[in-house]
Amino acid sequence: MEIFLQQLINGVTLGSIYGLIAIGYTMVFGIIGMVNFAHGDVFMLSAFIALILFLALTQLLGLTSVAFAFVIVLFAGMALTSLWAFVIERIAYRRLRGSFRLAPLISAIGMSIFLSNLVYVLQGPRNKALPPMFNDVIRLSEGGAYDVTLSVKQIMIVSVTAVLLAGFWFIVQKTSFGRAQRACEQDGRMAALLGVDVDRTISLTFVIGAALAAVAGVLYIVYYGVINSGDGFVPGVKAFTAAVLGGVGSLPGAVLGGLLIGLVETFWAAYFSSDYKDVAAFSILVVTLIFMPSGLFGRPDVEKV
């Protein structure tokens, strides 16, 4: 039971990170119908930005408050990563929006390769480590065969994910930008005829998705303490899997899909073999789509004739 509880905590923590990345996938796919394969590498880039900012604040500028440094890095990382996403959307996607469907997909794959190799050239192939922080733990159970602990980092990751999910759900459902976003998702041409700035709405969607990926990147580097240039592809694919599992277009579904992927991966690694944890995670997606093709919270497309 102690091992089960500990892996449950670990799985929810990992799933929260996947969920934050998955929200960006589901928002972009929902509004323009394109899989932004560069999103995972944007997440990786944000982790490197966070690492550089942390080291600059603590070692170069001598900032001693870790909590204050974390807040600065979080908001600065969101701003810088959002700027990257804005430039990527303008250069790689906007001109291809009216082209055939494979064109933006190929461009996204090319941008993913470009970002990965850019970080590889600038930072090198080795893992980059961040000094440990937020190492305090709460012992939920002790004295048995296995101590169950809950770290401050895990509480922070789950709490930030919950707050951001609630905030962006409110933005999408209750604000004028959210209405414009849903209008572009349903019919972009009609939304443009009714006065919605489609280009601006899509650009802001990319920016918001990148900001959430930046938060995930900051939390990832704080939690694991290490990052390299190849850490964008696998988390990105798993986050996309989470978005499809939860239902494309559903923000709660993306987070729930991330939690399920994280739990399956963690439990499989703990009770069976860590070598096949990725297979187990993707198998859940296959089984779900066989019985629920639209995902857990997705709605089937209805075309009027």
Structural domain boundaries in the chain: 14-138+152-230
- Identify the band that residue 214 occupies on the pLDDT scale cut at 50, 70 and 90: very high
pLDDT confidence bin for 46, thresholds 50/70/90:
very high
Between CA 184 and CA 173 the distance in angstroms is 14
pLDDT for position 76 = 92
* Structural contact between residues 210 and 218, judged by C-beta atoms closer than 8 angstroms: no
Given a cut of 60, is residue 283 above it in pLDDT?
Answer: yes
Question: Which pLDDT score is estimated for 138?
Answer: 84
The answer to whether the beta carbons of residues 261 and 237 sit under 8 Å apart is no
- Give the pLDDT score at 303: 53
pLDDT classification of 81: cutoffs 50, 70, 90: very high
Query: What six digits make up the tokens of 303?
Result: 């075309």
Asked if pLDDT for residue 40 goes beyond 70, the answer is yes
Range in 113-117, 134-138, 209-213, 298-302 the model is least confident about: 298-302
User: Does the structure show a pLDDT above 60 at 304?
Assistant: no
CA–CA distance, 23 with 16 (Å, rounded to integer): 11
At a CB cut-off of 8 Å and minimum separation 6, what does 41 contact? 111, 112, 115, 116, 119, 232, 233, 236
DSSP 119-157: HHHHH-SS-EE-------EEEEE-SSSS-EEEEHHHHHH
Mean pLDDT throughout 195-201? Answer: 86
How high is the pLDDT of residue 48?
Answer: 92
Check pLDDT > 90 for residue 79. yes
Tell me if 214 sits within 8 A of 81, measured CB to CB: yes
For residue 220, give the nearest of 3, 5, 4, 15 by alpha carbon: 15
Model pLDDT for residues 231-262, shown as the tens digit of each residue: 888 888 888 888 888 887 778 888 888 898 99
pLDDT digits (tens, 9 = 90+) for 48-62: 999 999 989 888 888
pTM of the predicted model as reported, rounded to 2 decimal places: 0.88
The predicted pLDDT at position 49 comes to 92
Collapse the DSSP code of 300 into the 3-class scheme (helix H, G, I; strand E, B; otherwise coil) and give the result.
coil
- Cα dihedral sign for 169, 170, 176, 177? negative
- Relative to beta strand 137-141, strand 148-151 is antiparallel
Neighbour count for residue 33 (Cβ, 10 Å): 12
Q: What is the pLDDT of residue 13?
A: 92
Task: Give the model's pLDDT for residue 242.
Answer: 87
pLDDT score of 299:
64
What is the mean predicted confidence (pLDDT) over 93-106?
80
Q: Which of 24, 33, 301 is nearest to 185 (CA)?
A: 33
Q: How confident is the model at residue 203 (pLDDT cuts 50, 70, 90)?
A: confident
